[in-house]
Each structure stands twice: as structure tokens, then as C-alpha cells.
Amino acid sequence: MEMNVHVDEDGMPSSQIRMQVPDADGNMQEMRVKGGGMRMEVKVKGDPGAPPPARREVVQEEVVEEQHSSRRRPRPPAEPVFRDCGTGRDPGCDMARDGQYAMDAETYRGFMTALKSQANEISRQEMAEKMLKRQYLTAAQYGQVLDLFVNEISRLEVATFAARRVVNPQHALGFASKWRNSISSEEYTEMIAEQQP
């Protein structure tokens, strides 16, 4: 028996088999089988006195294997791109509210520098409100902005104004401890709990 197997450019196998097999009377006959893809050709040579056998073409049963899939392994999904919001590993940095993300690190640093440059707290509050009309914050950024206000009334006003611009307000509940006045602390807690991200 002689057997040759080949693979073409597209990875489809083809084979050629040559063997000696006995017929029903015990006479040796040569049999050749050629196959490739979904088709197989069979040639049988027998007794020189017998009429030549008809050339037969056999269509194989459907055995289709996805050969390309075995060679091309699926790529793992790409890791999400880390956004830097200037507050370290901030879970709010990858969140959005109203389709908007929080300020990136560079914008946030500029925002904080501008606020810190205002010595007067009333001017600082007005500046914060103007800037937050177009910008969003993470809860971590929001907490740092609140720390810039010593006066608890001003801090609560800024907190109330800015809360609707926080992308992850549920993470800002703990900031109620920034008020010594229990009434202001309760007011803050109620206000932040009502925020929908």
C-alpha cells in the first residue's frame, strides 16, 4: 500500500492512496483512491481480460471542519484604557454621567490651581460653580474640591451645586463627615443620596 497526503495553500487536505486488494474471485487488483476537499476519485485495475471497471467518483459524506479556526486563535479582549483623573486609581474615572466623563488629570489640576489661587472663599465658590457648569467630577475629585472650603455654609452650597456633576455620587456619601454641624451633615447626606448616576 502506498499513501501520499498533501495540503494545499488554503489548508485543504488531498490524498492519493494506491493498494493491491483481492476481488471476489481472489485475484489481486490495483486500486487507486484520490481525494481532495469534498471529492474522492476511485480507480480499480483488475484482470486484463475483464472489461475495464467504470471510473467512479464518490462524493464523501459531509465532513466539513473549520480548518482556519484551528490556526487562528481568537484574540483576548483588549483591556480597557486606564483614564487618569489626577486622583490615583479612581473608580469614577471610567464612569460617565449624562454621557460625560469626569475631568482628566490635566484639566483637573488646572481646575484646582485656579480655585486655590482665589484667596476669597466667595470668589472661589463662584469660580467653582462657573467651571462646573461644563465639567464633571469623580467622587474623589469632588471630595478634594469640598476640602478647599473652610466655611461650612459655602462648602454645603458648593456640594449641592456640584453633586449633579459627580459621575459616581454613591461613592461620595462618606463626605458627610466633612461637616461638624449635624444639620448640615444630614442635609448633605439626603442631597447626595438623591443623586442618580
pLDDT at 169 over 70: yes
What are phi and psi for residue 39, nearest 5 degrees?
Answer: -115, 150
| Residues whose CB falls within 8 Å of the CB of residue 20, separated by 6 or more in sequence, listed in order | 1, 28, 29, 30, 31
**In contact, 192 and 172? CB cutoff 8 Å:** yes
pLDDT at 50 over 60: no
How far is residue 81 from each of residues 44, 84, 93, 154, measured CA to CA in Å?
Answer: 65, 10, 11, 37
Q: Measuring CA to CA, which residue among 58, 13, 63, 15 is closest to residue 40?
A: 58
70-125 pLDDT per residue, tens: 566 666 555 456 789 999 999 999 999 999 999 999 999 999 999 999 999 999 99
pLDDT of residue 20: 73
* pTM score: 0.59
pLDDT at 63 over 50: no
The span from the CA of 165 to the CA of 136, in Å, is: 5
Mean pLDDT, rounded, for 59-65? 47
pLDDT of residue 39: 58
Average per-residue pLDDT in the chain?
81
The span from the CA of 180 to the CA of 156, in Å, is: 12
Taking the chain, what is the end-to-end CA distance rounded to the nearest angstrom?
74
pLDDT at 178 over 80: yes
- The rounded radius of gyration (Å) of the Cα atoms in the chain is 39
Mean pLDDT, rounded, for 48-77? 53
The confidence band for 158, taking pLDDT boundaries of 50, 70 and 90, is very high
